[in-house]
Amino acid sequence: MSDNIDVQAAVTITFPDGKNRSFTSGVTGYDIAQSIGRKLAKDALAIKVNGKPIDLSVPITENAEVEIITFDHPDNIGKEIFWHSASHIMAQAIEELFPGSKFGAGPAIEQGFYYDIASEHRFTESDLEIIEKRMLEISRRSLEIRREDLSREDAITYFTSTRNDPYKVEILEDTLKDTPRVSIYHQGNFADLCSGPHLSNTSQLKAVKLTNISASFWRGDASRESMQRIYGIAFPSEKLLKQHLANIEEARKRDHRKLGAELELFMLSQKVGSGLPIWMPKGAIVRSELESFLREEQRKRGYVPVYTPHIGNIELYKQSGHYPYYSDSQFPPLTYKDDLGREEQYLLKPMNCPHHHMIYSSKLRSYRELPIRLTEFGTVYRHEQSGELNGLIRARGFTQDDSHIYCRPDQLVDEICNAIDLTKFVFATLGFDDIEIRLSLHDPENLEKYGGTEDVWQQAEQDVREAADKMGINYIIGVGEASFYGPKIDFIVRDALGRKWQLGTVQVDYVMPERFDLSYIGSDGHPHRPVIIHRAPFGSMERFIGVLIEHTAGNFPLWLAPVQVAVLPITEEVHDYASTVHQALLDNAIRAELDLRSEKIGKKIREAEVGKIPYMVIIGQKEADSGETSLRRHRKGDQGNLTIEHLLQKLKTEIKEKS
């Protein structure tokens, strides 16, 4: 063999399904996608290399685990990359249309993107369509989106002299002052400071809708420059945009705030305070039924109820780390002086955990007692920003279906599995059958965010993975999504409109037992540390019910409906018999209303339909004479005639089965 033959180095690429392929060193994400299929190469937006998202154009020179990122990637990173790139394209369009505009922050958000703009031009709704058209024109130019890496000092020079952009210079001199090298993304004559990754080409943007204009301040500081914020959303196809706009219209109809008022479930009052919902009688029934359902299921599984106060001494939360960890979202401390002038400070309870730890530590525990499963529907308070409040879904006062399980290390995996099983049971009962499970782990590069040692975190995350694998559940990994005291198993449900909501959670905690010096006496007669599982299937009662209202469009299942049956007599002559039917329903614990108004039956039925009452019992002279009832089902119409006995049996069976 000739010594002059150039044998190119190869790298081994491992795909998510565990299969390996060999490629020439320097292969790019685009090359890999194209080798799999032309459609995948067309749909590819970026690539994950060993879990880190990078641009498709970056060469891979070492063996690596690789995952192609498309728009519909399950952890939403594809959408984030697409929408962040769209914000850059919007900024370029604005710069071309309104010269002299400068740009602050332009991130991807949960549904789309925005950019903060400093401009002498005052943007109006009529400008949005003009900007949209320019964005699509930029897309048609097929501009390459190119990354440039350079030193921070060179970037400052570039944004000072070439771009004349004081906002990016401030970021470089302040936020990134300890970052020696940064990256800039170029597309045509436009450039922006960004860590990426981004799309490869502007042509990948096929549809866009700019949705809103609002006021903002540079870096969110009201003392700084006033800016204008333009929101938008973009897609790789016109079909996806049309579906999104249709979903928005449907979401308006399902908005839990709108339905909550129409169905008289809850109210929000500025006199009471922003973010502090008040449950009205019908809403209180829904909440009470959900609580009763979970209480009974927890009782079967060995949980014991507790109650704790709404406030606590600030020292308790300092010990747990919730203060000052959550200080930005807590109400200010309450300062109290007793009759001797001694000062104490209290907090509105931000979390239930420390109170439960005090219950556990109230006496000496034996290994034989464990696991101890404490549970409480405990109300907590967070001082959320006004702009982030959203009815029940984001409130300042809310009730968590909180539980803390104190167990031995040898019991831990089984207890995690039991908590997962309970959470899945709750979601299945309530009709959430599209669930994504995320293992939320710590970020080893930012250990200052967390309590405990790296060894403790490694153990806790091993426990979480073992339990998830034992349950046979599919999951994604969320690095950096852990709580400050432990990794989590987060349950993210997809509602009827395909929107994702994080609801239930199961968390493993080795940190709090140390902070609170919790122990039990083991079989060896010596003290040992328990492990804590934090567990909340609903998460927040308010948030869960808000999501449930939107998921069902207010059409609750029979067992949960505030009014289960409307008894509707046709004429005054059958009022006595209708009252007999109504009383029979009440005597059998069925929530029924009797409508004795002198209105036509058609109007009574329409109003019951609008009120989303599951069943209507129509009483006419024929029913009164025969001792029967005519049954109607909400949205389904006539269900035939039943005797009172058969009616009660049918309703009680449906309620019991929670079907």
Q: How far apart are the first and last CA of the chain?
A: 75
Q: Is 353 known to be catalytic?
A: yes
Q: How far, in Å, CA of 52 to CA of 196, rounded?
A: 11
Please compute, for residue 306, the number of CA atoms within 13 A of its CA located in the half-sphere on the CB side: 19
Side-chain-side CA neighbours of residue 454 (13 Å) = 6
Q: Which one-letter amino acid corresponds to residue 354?
A: P
- Of 430, 433, 457, nearest to 445 by C-alpha is 457
400 annotated active-site: yes
C-alpha dihedral over 296, 300, 303, 308, to 10 degrees? 10
Which positions ≥6 away from 327 have C-beta within 8 Å? none
- Please give the helix or strand (H or E) that residue 618 lies within, else none: strand 615-619
Tell me 371's DSSP state: -
Q: Determine which one of 168, 404, 438, 582 is catalytic.
A: 404
Reduced to 3 states (helix: H, G, I; strand: E, B; else coil), residue 271 is coil
Is 353 among the annotated ligand-binding positions? yes
356 is in an annotated binding site: no
Measure the CA–CA gap between 306 and 402, rounded to whole angstroms: 10
Task: Dig out the tokens for 599 from the structure.
Answer: 């209105």
Please confirm, yes or no, whether 404 is among the known catalytic residues: yes
Phi, psi of 617 (to 5 degrees): -105, 115
Which residues are within 8 A (CB) of 617 and not within 5 positions of it... i.e. 6 or more apart? 565, 566, 567, 568, 581, 585, 629, 630, 631, 632, 647
Q: Which of 79, 287, 534, 612 is catalytic?
A: 534
417 annotated to a ligand binding site: no
State yes or no: is 282 an active-site residue. no
Is 198 known to be catalytic?
no
Q: CA 590, CA 565: separation in Å to the nearest integer?
A: 8
What are the Cα distances from residue 383, in Å, to 297, 318, 476, 535, 587? 32, 18, 31, 23, 44
Calpha distance 659→656 (Å, rounded): 8
For residues 138 and 132, give the distance between their C-alpha atoms in angstroms, rounded to a whole number.
Answer: 10
Residue 6 CB contacts under 8 Å (≥ 6 apart), including other chains: none
254, 322, 382, 424: the active-site residue:
382
Task: For residue 568, give the 3-state DSSP assignment.
Answer: strand
Burial track 312-349 (b if 16+ CB lie within 10 A, e otherwise) = bebebbbbbbbbebbeeebeebeeeeeeeeeeeebbbb
What's the Rg (C-alpha) of the chain? 30
604 catalytic residue (yes or no)? no
Strands (E), 260-415: 266-267, 278-279, 304-305, 311-313, 334-337, 343-348, 372-381, 397-407
- What residue ranges in 496-554 does DSSP mark as E strands? 500-509, 520-521, 527-528, 531-536
Residue 412's Cβ-side half-sphere holds a number of Cα atoms within 13 Å equal to 21
What is the DSSP code (8-state) at residue 395?
-
Residue 264 and residue 282: Cα distance in Å, rounded? 6
Q: Which amino acid is at 256?
A: H
- Distance (Å, whole) CA 96 – CA 86: 15
CB 401 within 8 A of CB 550: no
Catalytic residue among 84, 168, 254, 488: 488
458 in catalytic set: no
Residue 256, CB half-sphere, CA atoms under 13 Å: how many? 22
Evaluated on CA atoms 287, 293, 296, 301, the torsion sign reads negative
* Binding site listing for Zn(2+): 353, 404, 534
Binding residues: 353, 404, 534
Which residue numbers are catalytic?
353, 382, 400, 402, 404, 488, 534
